[in-house]
Amino acid sequence: MNTAIQNSKYDSLLNYLRGLDKVVVAFSGGVDSSFLLAASKEALNDRVIAITIDSPALPRYELTDAESIANQLGVELIVLKSDEIEDEIRLNPENRCYFCKKVEYGTIKEEAERRGIRYVLDGSNIDDLKDVRPGMKARDELNVLSPLLENGINKQEIRDFSKILGLHTWNKPAYACLFSRIPYGQEIKIEDLEKIEKAEKFFIDKGFYTIRVRCHTDLARIEVSKEDRVKLLEEPLATEIAITLKAIGFKFITIVLMGYKMGGFNKSA
């Protein structure tokens, strides 16, 4: 046991993982899957591997981060390239996440089975039950396990444990795939995903902790934290934002006055 963490939930998680023998972690490099990978490494040592799906929904900087974390933990990382956007996903229905996760988990399960590994794990936690998560249906259909959820671990606990374990993801912003930046019913196009990725990277480089650039074809709808809203209108940054986003391919630029809200395109949000 990692004596740095004295917590019954963490002990329970490690015991749960030890009972699985050998596992694959569906790994994005985000807060949840990074913590799950670290715990799996502690519980199972070399009997864990990570698999990342490199799809158009994943920014290059997130892939680089995933590779860095896996290297830090000493876990083998398999990156499976997926350039195709299935029609059910491309047409972007409200349950798009279900189809995305079905493809993603299905691909990971196939690779796990090829390697003789029975269990695939994801980083869902108890707080995910508060949001609209169509992907959970796909997870259940494909028998993917969610150890953090099953052991009652929430997002704040994940961050607290991650800090103790020395993971830089402990204070990493919440992240969702690039598909989530496009409103339901608007076709997902590679060129729009590229615009979103470039625009969000620009804001990240400018020091914005929370950023979403929602893409309505040629209109960019910017969401930042309530604390950062005023920065968007300060010069010279305001002019630089306009010039940069137009150079990226957006004709119109708007700011969400209420600030970022998780699940911005969900009807219930």
Whether 42 and 151 map to the same domain: the answer is yes
Residue 7 has a pLDDT of 83
Mean pLDDT of the region 24-36: 97
In the block, residue with structure tokens 């700011």: 255
Residue 260 has a pLDDT of 86
Q: Pick 112 or 267 by higher pLDDT.
A: 112
Cα dist from 155 to 32, 125, 232, 254, 263, whole Å: 8, 7, 28, 30, 16
Residue 269 has a pLDDT of 36
How many independent structural domains does the chain possess?
A: 2
* 169, pLDDT greater than 50: yes
Q: Which of 171, 191, 214 delimits the end of a domain?
A: 171
Mean pLDDT of the region 40-50: 97
Mean pLDDT of the region 114-123: 96
In the block, residue with structure tokens 């974390």: 69
Whether 117 and 15 map to the same domain: the answer is yes
Whether 148 and 221 map to the same domain: the answer is no
Top mean pLDDT of 122-136, 234-248, 252-266 is at 234-248
Per the domain annotation, does 244 fall within a domain?
Answer: yes
**Cα 30 to Cα 89: distance, rounded to the nearest angstrom:** 22
Q: Pick 83 or 243 by higher pLDDT.
A: 243
Question: Torsions phi, psi of 48, nearest 5?
Answer: -135, 140
* 6, pLDDT greater than 90: no
Angle at 182 between CA 209 and CA 142, to 5 degrees: 90
In the block, residue with structure tokens 């729009």: 192
Query: By residue range, what is the domain housing residue 53?
Result: 8-171
Whether 160 and 30 map to the same domain: the answer is yes
